[in-house]
Structures are given as C-alpha cells and as structure tokens.
Structure 1
Amino acid sequence: MFKFSEISDKCVKCGKCIQVCTIHNINSDEVTSPRGFLDLLGAYERGELNLDKNAKNIFESCFLCTNCVDVCPNSLRVDTAIENVRKDLANKYGIAWYKKAFFWLLRYRKIMDFCAKMGYVFQSCAFKIKESTMTPRFSLPMVKKERLFPTAKGKSFLNSHEEFIDNGGEKTIGIFIGCMGNYAYTSIGESLLKIARELKLNVHLMKKQACCGAPAYFTGDFATVEVLAKRNIEYFESLRDKIDAIIIPEATCSAMVKVDYEHFFHDNDEWRERAKEISKKIFLATEYLEKETNLAQILASKGKRLESVTYHDACHARKMQGVYKEPRKLLAQNYDIVEMSDPNECCGFGGVTMQAEKYHLSRAAGQRKAAMVNDTNVKFVSAECSACKMQISNALHIHGSNVKFENPIDLIAANL
C-alpha cells in the first residue's frame, strides 16, 4: 500500500514548484499544481476525498514532468504519488478499451511485430503520407486531424539485424532500443550501430527485451508494469556477464528502467533490490558515449558544420537522470549550439492519457516549446527522447516552423 502521507505531509508549501509546473503554466489553477495535488492526496489517504470524476480529471492533468521534484527543497516524489493514485483510479473506473489493447500488445513482442507490419501496409488508408511523416484523414482517440505522426516501418530495428554484432572490440554494449525506436524512429538504432562500429564496441541487441512499461505506468496499469519490469530485470540479469553496459537512446525508457523500476517495487524488497542492482549497468546513450568513450575527440577531428542546433532537455533525461551536459558536449564538436530561452521546460507529451483525452493541454504546452525553438533560428532541435520528438515535431508542424527534430544520436552519426 502506497503511503501518500509520507510525501504530502512533508510539503512545506514554499511554492517553488508552482513556478515551474507545466500544467499550472497553462491553466494557473492552484488545484492542479504540485502542492494542490499533494493536499488532495493527503485528504484521499485520510478518507476525506472520494475518487470521483472530478478528482480523476485533476490527477490525470499532471504531465509527470518532474519539474516540481527537481526544485523541491525536500525532493518530494510528486510524480510517484500521482502514478500510484492513477492505479487506484484505474482500479475504480477501468482503463479505456484502446489503452487496454495497447498495453496488452506491449506484453507480446511477436504480436507487436505483426501489428507493426500491418500498420506499415495499411497506413496510407488512414493517413496522408509525406516523406517520413503522416497526418490523419479522420479523428480517433490520439488521432487528431492536425496531428503529425511518424510513418511506420516495414521491418522493426530489432528484426533488421543479427542479435550479436562483432566490431572487433574488447567491450560489448547491450542496446535497449525502446518501442518508438524499434517500430517508428528506426534511424536512431541504425545510427547507434554506426557509432558502435566507429568506436569498435561489440553490440548485443538483446532481442528478448520487453517494453519498459512507461506508458502503462503513467496510466495506472500496474499489472502490465509488473509483468514487463520483472521480465526485463530477469533478462538483464541473464546477460550480466555478457555485456559491459546497457545503453538506451530514449530518456523515458532509460528513466523507467534505471529509476522508476525501483520506485514501482517500493513495497517489494526483493525486486526493488534487483532493480537497483540492474540500474548500475543502465546508461542513457549520450551519457555513456561521452563519459566512457573517445567519441568527442573523434567528432572534433571531423570539423564544424554550418548547421546550428538547439537542445531540448527531455524531462526524463535532465531531471530524472541528470543528463544534459553530455549530449551538448558531443554535438558541440560539429554544430553550433544555440540555447533556447528555457531548454528545461517540458514539451508537453505527458503520456497516453494526455495525448488521447487531454490533447488541448498537451497542444498548449507544445506550442510554448515550439515558439522557443523557432526563436533560435536554427536548423535542428534535438532531444534524446522519441516522445519529445513526436510532440515537438507536431508542435512545430502546427506552428508552421521549418526546424527539423533529430535525436542527438542521429546528428552525431551524420558526422562519422
């Protein structure tokens, strides 16, 4: 049983969180602010608040950006508390059919592979395709007519290569690619393989990896999270002696595996300790490449390009893992870095519920970020997160901007 009072009672109401809260910046409502959430969560534990439809609407309005945790003098895990109350909401009200279907698919890689192939075959029926992006012909949950989506690929990244790639090196890295990188933004994985060849790092693609479980975790489907988390932990343990590190080019996936698995198993000592032990081998890709290899020196030898880049700090990279200097250092070897007014502000992806049922809030946050990006007058905006890529690309599309979003791994590989 999660003890909400352990977090809510420690809030001193200093108000630092309100200044950086993504939802509060949009609606300026004290109720949907970090200290508002905590007050309500304390009341819920004391039996003074029923989880009615109004409470459901409030708790599902949080973007889980962790800005509040980042600035809180007590580092209170507001995000973890909200994730746990969403579990109670899911138990009481159920989960929408399309979310249930999606989370069920996340448990079964082979069925996901098949569905991705069918999506590739039939995507032109529902979407207008232009280059590597597509816009919907009609509206459904998460599918709004103005939306920009990545095209599905005919073959997933994991199914495009042998499991072990020998680059003649002394070290072997495991790659946890993430669902978006596996089925949509497959260039990220290809770029990572290119970098590994240059660095003479052997690669293990870890083909039995499961989804990290983040979409289900943020929605309150803890049964799915438990299945996926245990499956991944057991699999990673089986590879412990075969790989030197597991690198993940996706901030949300990396934060989920490295940080949130431990939070999820807060009341299970055995699995919490196993998650903590596995986390020692987990690195966000740019973190590992900058700290553990000579990639920066190799890139420096290639010289500067004419293009400039602005960098968006994905919430799950900077605030949850402290990774923000590393991608900038690598990119700065070849590109001019132009900082936007607030690179740390959440782009507004917010998870499946935010995208499907509260898109107006996600859209508003995205437009704030798109304006910042556009003001830099750069060619590329970059972040090590496919959720950010999808959100910011859509925001720039609506904004009418010509700035292109690229994962830093793709930009780095382009210089090798």
Structure 2
Amino acid sequence: MTKRYTEEIFNFTATSDQCIKCGKCIPVCTIHNVNADEVTSPRGFIDLLGAYERGQLELDKTAKDIFESCFLCTNCTDVCPKSLPTDMVIEQVRADIADKFGIAWFKKAFFFLLRHRRLMDFFMKSGYAFQTCGFKIKEQTSSMQPRFSLPLIKKERLLPSMGKKSFLNSYPEMTDNGGKRKVAIFIGCLANYNYTGIGKSLMEILEVLEIDAFIPKKQLCCGAPAYFTGDFATVDHNAKKNIEYFESFIDEVEAIIIPEATCSAMIKIDYEHFFHDQPEWKARAQKLKNKVFMATEWLEQKTHLSELLASRGRRDLTVTYHDPCHARKMQGVYQEPRKLIGQSYAIKEMSDPNACCGFGGVTMQTEKYHFAEAAGKPKAAMIKASGAQVVSAECSACRMQINNSLHQAEAETVFKNPIELIAEALAPNPS
C-alpha cells in the first residue's frame, strides 16, 4: 500500500466525516494496544481532529498529549476500508502543536544539528571520543548502555553507539567499480554515524556487481525526525537543499539507493506530501521520486544479485525478517529483501512480521519512552519465538528500537541490516 495524495487529507473535518467507525483499525493500532483508550485510537484521533478544525476542541496540553501519542505506524491506513490517512492528518496537526507550544530544547538542538552536516560531524566525533565515559559499549549490537540514569534516558536502555568515522567521511565521492553502471547512495543519519557497517556493506556489494558508487557529500538528513515532530521549518530547509542537490546529479545516475526505509519513504513519498501547498517544489519532488529506491528493492529488481547469491551457496544461519512500517505499508517493499536474503540464509517468519516495532519517532523515544518500551515487548517476544539467530530489517530506527527491546527481554538474537547479511554472503565462506 502507498499513501494517497488528495487535498482532502488537509481537511480534517472531511477525513473525520468519512470515517464509518467500523473499528477495524483498533486491533492493529500500536498505541491502542499499549494504551487502550478510545481517544488514542485511529478513529479517536480522526474524530478529535475534526472537532479541532471546527473549533470545537481547544489545542490544549491534553490534546497535545493525545496527538503526540500516535506511533505513525500506518497500520490503521493499511486496514481502513476508506484508506483514511490518519497518520498524515496527525503529522499536519503536530505542526500546529509545535507552533503553539514550541519544541523542547533538546529536540531543537538535535534538529539544528540535522541542518548542519559539519556541526553534526564534529558533535558525533566528539561523542565517539568520550562515549565510554558515560556509556558501556556493546560491540556486538553497535549499542551503548548508560552507566547512570540521565534525564529522559533510563540506565537500563540501549542506544546506538557512535562510529569512529562517519560513512560519508570514510569514502571518496566517486568509487569506480568498472564504469558500466552508476548509482548514488543516500545513507541516512543512523547509518552514517552509528551503524556504519551498512554503508560499508553496500559499497562491497556494488564493487562485486561492478557498479560505480557516487556518494553525494552534501546530502542532509532527509528531515523525517523533524517532520514527525512538527518542526516543519527544518523539513522545509532540508528537503529543498536535498532536492536542489539531487537535481545536480540525478541525470548522471541510474538511481539513488537508500538502505533505510524511513529515509526512502520521506524522500520518495513525504516530500511530495509536505510540499502540497508549494507547487514548484512539489513538482520537483515528483520528478525525482522515480529514481529513488530502497537498496534491496533496486538490487533485487535491477541487478543479477539474486542469481549471484544463489551461486555462492548457503550459510548456516537462520534469519527472521521484520517489515519496517515505512517499507511494506508505505512503499510496498517486503518481498525484495526476503528474496535476496533467502538465497543464502534460512528464513523463519515471526508470527507477525508486519507489526510495528514501536520506535515512533523522537518524542516517543524521549518523553513517551514508556509507550515505546511497552510496544517493543511483543515484537521482542515474536523474534525470540521464531528461533532465528538473526533479526533483519532495512531500517536503522527499527534497529535501535528492536536492539533495545531484545536487550530488555534478555534475548541473544543479533540484528543485522539485510545489506550487511548480503555482503557477508558474498564474501568467501570461511568453512
């Protein structure tokens, strides 16, 4: 399923009036499953948004708390017989919330860094140098655990550790792997600074395929963290900078491949949505979207990687695959990573691979972490029950959340991006 783009989504009352109150959204709603209250359900959100637009609901702290409780997982839109875009109308009202109540200082600081690559580079490099002072590093999961409780950060939770050197600063802008084909790589912030093995693995895959890799050095954060929080000024800045930059090289590459579901969905789908009232920028976003792909999507559809993996033999490892909300439900990408991984590894499906892991964005990971923690428990239980040694998903936000959930559940399952698994399968088998 992909998102609909009609002007009615910006009319909260029209969306509310279309809801037939069938309740199909309730059983699949991530927040309702951990906070069983009608107001924090898709039809509750929609009803309140209609009342808000009609002037019958004041946007007070109670309403703010309700609208910030949605995980934006899109499970409701996936089952809704009317395909009502509940997530998109909530994204819109969060901008009103940010305008009225402001944005917490730590979020402002984070979003400021997301606008300025050099400052972020400096901050993350400094963080790497001093992270062992406040955190215990867990190398196997590329995670770190606080040595003591901090504001908004519990001592028992895991966070992604910082890499010694970012992906963007580890490779030249152009890598010649034969010159027959060329793609650009948009890496995403977590893969750039924290889970740097993803980019390394993608470069190894492209080398084997003899496809040139262009790494656009001026790429900025896609803007998703700010978008889901309501900081539309940051989204506007980053989206326009990225679009202008992409236009400068888009005709020279076959595709922009992204090993991150959230970043891909933001650039390919949400840019168009965000610029609904800026026709020029909407058109420019639409023109680029046909060349934007999730990495496994493009590799499976546009290369002979699947056949190459099949020729390399099987690996003695079992994998269970989690479908990121921004991959399967927003972009229809779920078969491609399984087809590639399945050439080399045994896949054991969990009971509900489509269930949201509970990441939910910056607010859910900070002020509302108790909701994220609760939503992560059933996902960790599903992963453990699968019996797989590795859980995989093409999303570093899911990786951060699932690593923490597995840690809380004392599970030994290891998380790897499908790109990392594929690179390992292409390497010489040690046996």
User: TM-score with structure 1 length normalisation?
Assistant: 0.98
Q: Does 1:300 align with 2:310?
A: yes
CA distance in 1, matches of 2:320, 2:328: 15
SS in 1 for 2:44: helix
CA distance in 2, matches of 1:73, 1:121: 52
SS in 2 for 1:283: strand
**Residue 76 of structure 1: aligned partner:** 84
Range 19-28 or range 210-219, more displaced: 19-28
Q: Deviation at 1:142? A: 4.4
**Residue 37 of structure 1: aligned partner:** 45
CA distance in 1, matches of 2:19, 2:296: 34
Q: Deviation at 1:197? A: 0.5
1:129-168 correspondence to structure 2 within 5 Å: 129-131=137-139, 132-168=142-178
CA distance in 1, matches of 2:64, 2:149: 24
Range 233-242 or range 392-401, more displaced: 233-242
Per-residue displacement from partner, 1:112-160 (whole Å, max 9, x unpaired)? 0000110001101111123232100223344221111222112110001
**Residue 184 of structure 2: aligned partner:** 174
CA distance in 2, matches of 1:270, 1:12: 36
Q: Deviation at 1:357? A: 0.6
**Residue 253 of structure 1: aligned partner:** 263
Work out whether residues 4 and 81 of structure 1, in 8 Å CA contact, stay in contact via their aligned partners in 2: yes
CA distance in 2, matches of 1:324, 1:360: 29
**Residue 66 of structure 1: aligned partner:** 74
CA distance in 2, matches of 1:13, 1:140: 42
Q: Does 1:194 align with 2:204?
A: yes
Work out whether residues 141 and 357 of structure 1, in 8 Å CA contact, stay in contact via their aligned partners in 2: no
Q: Deviation at 1:11? A: 1.4
**Residue 116 of structure 1: aligned partner:** 124
1:203-214 correspondence to structure 2 within 5 Å: 203-214=213-224
**Residue 36 of structure 2: aligned partner:** 28
SS in 1 for 2:40: coil
CA distance in 2, matches of 1:378, 1:128: 26
**Percent sequence identity over aligned pairs:** 66
CA distance in 2, matches of 1:239, 1:201: 16
When the two chains are superposed, the root-mean-square deviation of aligned CA atoms in Å is 1.1
User: TM-score with structure 2 length normalisation?
Assistant: 0.95
Q: Deviation at 1:74? A: 2.1
**Residue 56 of structure 2: aligned partner:** 48
Q: Does 1:414 align with 2:424?
A: yes
- Which residue of 94, 97, 110 maps to 2:102? 94
Range 269-278 or range 156-165, more displaced: 269-278
Q: Which runs of 5+ in 1 are unaligned?
A: none
Q: Which runs of 5+ in 2 are unaligned?
A: 1-6, 427-431
Q: Deviation at 1:3? A: 2.3
Work out whether residues 135 and 145 of structure 1, in 8 Å CA contact, stay in contact via their aligned partners in 2: yes
CA distance in 2, matches of 1:214, 1:372: 27
CA distance in 2, matches of 1:139, 1:256: 33
SS in 2 for 1:168: coil
Q: Does 1:397 align with 2:407?
A: yes
Aligned amino acid, residue 67 of structure 2: F
Aligned amino acid, residue 91 of structure 2: E
Aligned amino acid, residue 83 of structure 1: E
Cα gap change, 1:104/1:186 in structure 2, threshold over 3 Å: closer, same or farther? same
**Residue 104 of structure 1: aligned partner:** 112
**Residue 11 of structure 2: aligned partner:** 3
Q: Deviation at 1:104? A: 0.5
CA distance in 1, matches of 2:138, 2:332: 36
Work out whether residues 141 and 356 of structure 1, in 8 Å CA contact, stay in contact via their aligned partners in 2: no
- Which residue of 371, 375, 381 maps to 1:361? 371
CA distance in 2, matches of 1:265, 1:7: 20
SS in 2 for 1:414: helix
SS in 2 for 1:174: strand
